[in-house]
Structure 1
Amino acid sequence: MSRLRPEASNAFWKQTSAVDQTRSDSSPTGMLDPFPPPPTWLRDRVEPWALYFNLPTLSDHIHEVLIALAGYQFIHSVLSPWLSAILFPRHYPHLNKRTKLNWDVHVVSLVQSTLVNTLALWIMFADKERKSMDINERIYGYTGTCGFLEALAAGYFVYDLIISTIHIKLFGVGMLFHAISALWVFSFGFRPFVNFYSPTFILYELSSPFLNIHWFLDKLNLTGSNLQWYNGMLLLSVFFSCRLVWGTWQSVLVYRDMWHALSQSWTLSSLSTAADVNVAIFGNRKLMAQNCVDEACLRANEEVFKYAGFSAGGVPTWLVGTYVAANVVLNSLNYYWFSKMVETVLKRFRGPKEGEKKIGGEKVEEVVEDIAQKVVLEAAATLEEEEGRVFLGDVPVEQGVVAGDVDVGGEVRRRRG
């Protein structure tokens, strides 16, 4: 079945939306998009293109995408150079052109990752409509708060695309490809498709603030410091928790939901009307809306099926396949980066080479503590190098430079610029 605009199925909802007089006080009261709607002139210009590319919710959030893009670009071009020169007068003004550009990119990344992670956690705890979504709504449903989060992320990916295009000689084709693929895959949420999971997978970025801080400490000549060690411990633990444990589990859940949606699409293809399809997908939500006690609750629940007309054709097989492939690649990268960290740790704890002088018993505790600190620092440096190769184009000039940053005695031999 072909996808239909919302008007194609609104007749069904109007015919069956006589709200029951009996309303339940236990109905959830949720949140709409906290940002004001776009101006009419902007919506009118964007909507034809949004419908053409089958991204209907984009017309509700295009102003947020543009504001986010402008904000990130302002931080990169104005705020970061101005504030960094004031806060770090002995370092930032003396950086070479490439490192200064990388500094500004890292500032934007730090601000963006902190912002979207905070917003994602707020949505997950406060958006009651999202919490109450069933398996169908987790695929096809929509809430304004999740759309707002997707807009902020999309604005960053557009910024990333612009920077990687302008500076392709510095960052390379890899960063450009990453920017394009990230923007493309994340735009699926504007269909809407797995809108529910946008805050879930944004939390992959919980480790990014610590990764950026690690990079800044290197450039501030604080490599090997206690501050970098504490930050490194947080980086490694958060990376393992949010990307491997949380990320893998949530991937299993989204695979299950998408398989259900795909199977349902094949079954629903025999139904004759869009209204029948919408009953199968959003029937439970309509009942919840009927039980609302106030206008706010009613609007919030009705927003979940606001784009029901675009669910009439089910979910395309190619869309599920693309999403799964992108998710598998990302998870594989996370496991690869973690394996490199583990490899770095194991190198430290291998026994002494034959002929090496053994350490006296009274110094064992001190040396073990010193080695533990170097393990964390080297593992964090390994992660920063490996992830930087893909996401920030921060490729060391010399191979193996990270492993040589800190020796067993704790002195810095060379720093990356």
Structure 2
Amino acid sequence: MRDPLPAPDFAIQSTQLLARALSLRTLPFHAHEILPSFGLYTFLNNFVAPRVSSRFFPETYFGLSEKGKKNWDVHIVSLLQSCFINTAALLVIWLDRERWSMGPIERVWGYTGATGMVQAFSTGYFLWDVVISATNLDLHGPGALAHAVSALAVSLLGFRPFCNYYGLNFVLYELSTPFLNIHWFMDKLKMTGSRAQLINGIALILSFGCSRLLWGTYQSVRMYQDMWAAFETPGGLPVPPWLAIAYMLSNTTLSCLNFYCFGKMVHALRKRFDKPKAGNEKGSP
């Protein structure tokens, strides 16, 4: 399936040298999607989110500290991006018939324009995420930066192309992100412990567990099996060890962070909705 947004000639020509230097053959066909998406997320964060928030949630937004406002704006961008990228990924997975016919070797080295498009929009977001996490390290913490760097590395390797097929499948991690952001906003809007937050919390746990832990682990295992098949294929294109290791390390980092975050989320939800013991209600030690 072709990219619905084909690259103009000037974009291809202007990025050829960079693509050769980085060994990212398909990058020139998608640079016109990476840079504008990075610019769009920056614009949403710096201009749209503050203005929309101050108009519709003035009491809450202006009651936040400067760090709190930055965090609020980041969550708005994350919410919008996750809704968009989930829709794009699901449409391509469903409509791209070339993907359906791929075998193990094609899943490692194969490429379609539509898959590259979704990968490009993801790359633009993760590039923005790296910048935001690095410049606000005291706010988001080193874990967020590690996640952003790992996700960006995996996305860029897709333009080699390498595991472009699986890169799109891993985009579906974001299926849980809208619920995560809604949960965060409910806390700020004084809806903590409400029935609406409970319903959203259940949806968050289910979507996170299914998309990031079950689906993500299953896709990782399949990807490692296909990499091994590429190693063993006679006369084929073997996977360079450094490339396989880099991709596996990035993917493993993301997987470990997902399991860690899942535990933190379950703990946070239990604190919000577990009823205090009778002894505590009476002030007992």
Name the CA distance, whole Å, in 2 between partners of 1:175 and 1:247. 19
**What amino acid does structure 2 have at the position aligned with 1:245?**
L
Name the CA distance, whole Å, in 2 between partners of 1:341 and 1:49. 41
Higher RCO, Cα 8 Å, sep 6+: 1
1:329 pairs with 2:253: yes
CA separation of 1:112 and 1:325: change in aligned 2, threshold 3 A: same
Structure 1 gap segments, 5+ residues each: 1-30, 269-276, 278-312, 345-376, 380-402, 411-417
Q: What aligned pairs does 1:13-412 form with structure 2 within 5 A after superposition?
A: 31-38=1-8, 40-264=9-233, 267-268=234-235, 314-340=238-264, 344=267, 378-379=269-270, 403=271, 408=275
Task: Report sequence identity in percent.
Answer: 45
1:64 and 1:152 in contact (8 A); partners too: yes
Partner of 2:283: none
Name the CA distance, whole Å, in 2 between partners of 1:330 and 1:323. 11
Deviations 1:202-243 (A, max 9, x none): 111111110011000001111111111110010011111112
RMSD (Å), alpha carbons: 2.0
TM-score normalized with structure 2 length: 0.90
Alpha-carbon shift at residue 164 of structure 1 (Å): 2.2
**What amino acid does structure 1 have at the position aligned with 2:7?**
P
Alpha-carbon shift at residue 198 of structure 1 (Å): 2.0
Alpha-carbon shift at residue 340 of structure 1 (Å): 4.7
CA separation of 1:247 and 1:81: change in aligned 2, threshold 3 A: same
Structure 2 gap segments, 5+ residues each: 278-285
**What amino acid does structure 1 have at the position aligned with 2:269?**
E
Name the CA distance, whole Å, in 2 between partners of 1:163 and 1:330. 18
Any idea what SS the aligned residue of 1:146 has? helix
Deviations 1:22-46 (A, max 9, x none): xxxxxxxxx31011313x3332221
Name the CA distance, whole Å, in 2 between partners of 1:179 and 1:327. 12
1:262 and 1:317 in contact (8 A); partners too: no
Alpha-carbon shift at residue 175 of structure 1 (Å): 3.2
Deviations 1:310-368 (A, max 9, x none): xxx532011112222222232233333334556x4xxxxxxxxxxxxxxxxxxxxxxxx
**What amino acid does structure 2 have at the position aligned with 1:336?**
Y
Deviations 1:253-301 (A, max 9, x none): 111111101222xx42xxxxxxxx5xxxxxxxxxxxxxxxxxxxxxxxx
Any idea what SS the aligned residue of 2:158 has? helix
Name the CA distance, whole Å, in 2 between partners of 1:257 and 1:130. 15
TM-score normalized with structure 1 length: 0.63
